[in-house]
Amino acid sequence: DIQMTQSPSTLSASVGDRVTITCRASQSISSWLAWYQQKPGKGPKLLIYKASGLESGVPSRFSGSGSGTEFTLTISSLQPDDFATYHCQQYKSYSRTFGQGTKLEIK
């Protein structure tokens, strides 16, 4: 299986900050990577597909980049609604795998 490693596990930031979350794959996955936002008690919400494609309806402050084995999710200016847990997921192999999640907390 392709292993996905996210960093950091927890991130403390303030409203207005620019934050970056990293996801590394154990082997090349080309651009087959998605990012999700999850809030307590809710299912994940798709933010980014194919590494940098912004899902319809997602604010433009969210952006994704990378290819091969290293990827980033950037939030350009944190808003109160953005404090949540973020997950990356590879879909290069049929056994799609996720990172362990990054919890974004209010500083």
Partner 1 sequence: EVQLVESGGGLVQPGGSLRLSCAASGFTFRSYWMTWVRQAPGKGLEWVANINQDGSEKYYEDSVKGRFTISRDNAKNSLYLQLNSLRAEDTAVYSCARDGYYCSDTSCYFDYWGQGTLVTVSS
Q: Is 66 in the site for partner 1 (CB under 8 A)?
A: no
Cβ closest to partner 1, residue 13 vs residue 46 = 46
Count other Cβ atoms within 10 Å, centred on residue 78: 19
Kind and range of the H or E run holding 65: strand 62-67
- Judged by DSSP in three states, 60 sits in coil
Which listed range, 20-28, 65-73, 74-82, 91-99, lies at the site for partner 1 (CB under 8 A)?
Answer: 91-99
Q: Is 87 in the site for partner 1 (CB under 8 A)?
A: yes
Residue with tokens 């290293």: 70
Whole-Å CA distances, 65 to 69, 95, 107? 11, 23, 25
- Measured from the CB of residue 16, what is the shortest distance to partner 1 in angstroms? 29
User: Which residues fall within 8 angstroms of residue 105, CB to CB, at 6 or more apart?
Assistant: 10, 11, 12, 13, 83
Q: Is 104 in the site for partner 1 (CB under 8 A)?
A: no
According to CB under 8 A, which residues from 44 to 63 bind partner 1? 44-46, 49-50, 53, 55
Question: Which residues of this chain interact with partner 1, rule CB under 8 A?
Answer: 30, 32, 34, 36, 41-46, 49-50, 53, 55, 87, 89, 91-101
